[in-house]
Chain A
Amino acid sequence: MIYFDNSATTKPYKEVLDSFLTVSSEYFGNPSSLHSMGGQAEKLLSQAREQVAKLLAVKPTEIYFTSGGTESNNIAIKGAALLNRNKGRHLITSSVEHASVRAAIEQLEHEGFEITYLPVDENGRVRVDDVEKAIRKDTIFISVMQVNNEVGTVQPIKEIGEMLKKHPKILFHVDTVQGIGKVPLSLPESNVDLCSLSAHKFHGLKGTGVLFIREGARLTPLFSGGNQERKMRSGTENVAGAVALAKALRMTMVKSETGIERMKKIQSMLRTGLSEIEGVMIHTPIENSAPHIINFSLSGMKSEVFIHALEQQEVFVSTTSACSSKKKSASKTLLAMGVPESLAESAIRLSLSFDNTEEEAKKAILVMKKTANQLRKVMD
């Protein structure tokens, strides 16, 4: 089996599952309980928080555990908009965001907020100038993802953050769900106020994530309840999940030290291999792209057909983003990049993890070549 759908989700590391199981069975206490079992659970939770903070080079008090990327994005966007609605009602985001950002912002649009959707260039990249031009007196919030989940384009986060130093009142949110561990990001240097992470994209478990809230940045919580997570996210803490997340993040960061270079090599092998297939157009830019994603279209071929054909050869890839692939609409990112709809409808995304090998890439290229030829014959 060759699993090339790591941007949809990754396989949890065995060590991560072991931690989850041990914590769930041996330290199942509620961190809010006063007795020693509660104390141990609380200790585990704060150690997890400290570890995540250290890995992200921020303070432990800036780390909030959530149920994943979607929740982190929702708290960041709606929490910021609700708290600051009296300061202004204008939000800025890119036109290539993940659904959990886009839809959260659209919801605010219905509530009376005004939104500027920034265009992207042919590589899927936002221009810092456009961000600056979009800023108005009543702008309170900007959300730009670090790495696009569909094509892998890396956005100029540091440059936007630098520019936003002139606008200290605007909160800057970065969705780094796809980027973490694969594309370096310094939160303090990039002037980021809010940042979302999801554990299952880096070999942790589904249902666990992190929202970084810079010290001093304030949000209105979305859940009411027992005031856990420093009042930001009520609900009994998922201690085992948080511990597992901290471990997964540590392992990922360690692997990324040597893994990124290897990943780039595999990516370029795939790029070369794919370009040899007739009718392939590669959408992932060479410059400013993440090392783990390669997105292409096979002209005239419905992506779904190609995926199922590859699946029969035990090669697992996806259309665009897993979250929206069931809706059968063409990739929003590709359309925003100016790719014609017919091509966008036949887009395929390969996404790697640090555990994928060159052998797998070679094999996948062969399978894809063969499959493409066979399908072409049937369809012609």
Chain B
Amino acid sequence: MKYDRILIRYGEISTKGRNRNKFIDKLRKSIRIALSPFPNIKVESSRDRMYVLLNGENGVEIMEKLKNIFGIQSFSPAIKLERDVEKLKQASLELVRTLYKEGQTFKITPKRSDKTFELNTDGINHTIGGHLLQNIPGLKVDVRKPDINLRIEVRKEAIYLSCETIQGAGGLPIGSSGKAMLMLSGGIDSPVAGYLAMKRGLEIEAVHFFSPPFTSERSKEKVIDLSKKLAEIYGSITLHIVPFTDIQQAIREQIPENYSMTTTRRMMLRIADKIREKQEGLAIVTGESLGQVASQTLESMYAINEVTNTPILRPLITMDKTEIIKLAQEIDTLEISNRPFEDCCTIFVPSSPKTKPKREKVQHYESYFDFEPMIQEAVQEVETIVVKREDEQHSEFQSLF
């Protein structure tokens, strides 16, 4: 007996009242994008379940992809049956037979969401359990730690059989929480912050500050590669590359060295906020972690955050570096982040940046120069690219491979 579908259980969506349909739509979209390499599948959704009908596609590969989709609590390869006791007996037997190895134990977990079915849960247990025991010599029952747990779900439209439940990624479907800009530097933290933001249902557009010739083409490539990794989750990601050289030079000339870092961050935030407005996002996501570096002390955040009242989301704020590194490893961005190229955060670092900058002081220093026109210009000159995930990226070198 072969699985013909994968049953998907929603995570927190199930609790989302009237927004449910929007959530389900977003999840459907996520699933369709992730499973685009499998053209024959069909996705069916109902109020509290979704089904991926395999139609001959490779179920193992599909389940591998499903593991990474946000908004899925768990999923199970399953078989759909008519609501008929005889058919249920037959299919259960076939399924358990294909899984059964000498000396294994089993149990049945029946669930009857539709009470009109002729057997109740006890009845299902007895009828099917008895049928299996009669027909598979050596099979034993173990309700505590069974090798095979046969789930029988009786629903209004049909009965579903499954034997394993695989944990999903949890979270909310991407896009269900709205859109935000991610400040993506090229370091270890920001891609992780982006990932966690996406996990809570945010659609992310990345903003990167590029200062040639102080930062090289290769640092830009690094950011594109990081974006590609994030794009794997949702098919593609929009990346805004902001030309930042002129502003950085102006800061060097206008602002005392120990405050240059604070002003740089303020300018970045102002630009990111303008892009956010244009792109109709509602928040900015950063990879800041409290106290990690001079710009991430509470005093610094207080001084920097002044330039906008847009919500700034800091998913990593309470995490230790080691925890962040572990996550970066899991989402496969650590290797890329560790490439040794200068980025917008590592050049022009003053020898002793203020760890406790004052708002009044930074306001005062910035008051001697009008940064606004430069900011406007930078926003206008932004290069926007849509980064696709690896398998869709058409490489310039394709013919060589």
Contacts and interface: CB of A to CB of B under 8 A. Distances in A.
B335 A61 contact: yes
Interface of A: 19, 22-23, 34-36, 38-39, 42-44, 47-48, 50-51, 61, 243, 246-247, 250
A48 B218 contact: no
A22 B400 contact: yes
Given A47-B395, A50-B390, A61-B335, A247 B217 contact: no
B397 A250 contact: no
A34 B218 contact: yes
Given A47-B395, A61-B335, A23 B217 contact: no
B396 to A, nearest CB: 9
B221 interface: yes
A34 to B, nearest CB: 6
Given A36-B218, A39-B221, A50-B390, A243 B335 contact: no
B221 A47 contact: no
B400 A44 contact: yes
A39 B397 contact: no
Contacts of A23: 400
Contact of A247 (B216, B395, B401): B401
B102 to A, nearest CB: 16
B400 A247 contact: yes
15 contacts: A23-B400, A34-B216, A35-B216, A36-B217, A38-B218, A39-B216, A39-B217, A39-B218, A39-B221, A43-B397, A44-B397, A50-B390, A243-B400, A247-B400, A247-B401
A47 B401 contact: yes
Contacts of A50: 390
B393 to A, nearest CB: 10
Given A39-B217, A47-B395, A243-B397, 17 more contacts: A19-B401, A22-B400, A34-B216, A34-B218, A36-B216, A36-B217, A36-B218, A39-B216, A43-B221, A43-B397, A44-B400, A47-B397, A50-B390, A51-B401, A61-B335, A243-B401, A247-B400
A61 to B, nearest CB: 6
A34 B216 CA distance: 8
A258 B397 CA distance: 27
Contacts of B218: 34, 36, 38-39, 42
Interface string B179-204: 00000000000000000000000000
A111 B390 CA distance: 46
Interface in B313-358: 335, 341
Contacts of A47: 395, 397, 401
Interface string B370-401: 00000000000000000000100001010011
Interface in B225-265: none
A19 B390 contact: no
Contacts of A43: 221, 397
A42 B395 CA distance: 14
Of B217, B218, B390, B395, most buried by chain A (CB within 10 Å of CB) is: B218
A250 B221 CA distance: 26
A59 B338 CA distance: 17
Interface string B54-91: 00000000000000000000000000000000000000
Nearest to B340: A34
A48 B217 contact: no
B222 to A, nearest CB: 10
Contacts of A61: 335
Contacts of A250: 401
A250 B216 CA distance: 33
B217 A19 contact: no
What 9 A-B pairs are tightest by C-beta distance, nearest first?
A19-B400, A39-B218, A36-B217, A247-B401, A243-B400, A51-B401, A246-B401, A44-B397, A47-B397
B25 to A, nearest CB: 32
Nearest to A23: B400
A308 B360 CA distance: 92
A356 to B, nearest CB: 26
B401 A48 contact: yes
Contacts of A51: 401
Contacts of B216: 34-36, 39
A23 B216 CA distance: 23
A312 to B, nearest CB: 40
Nearest to A20: B400
Contacts of A44: 397, 400
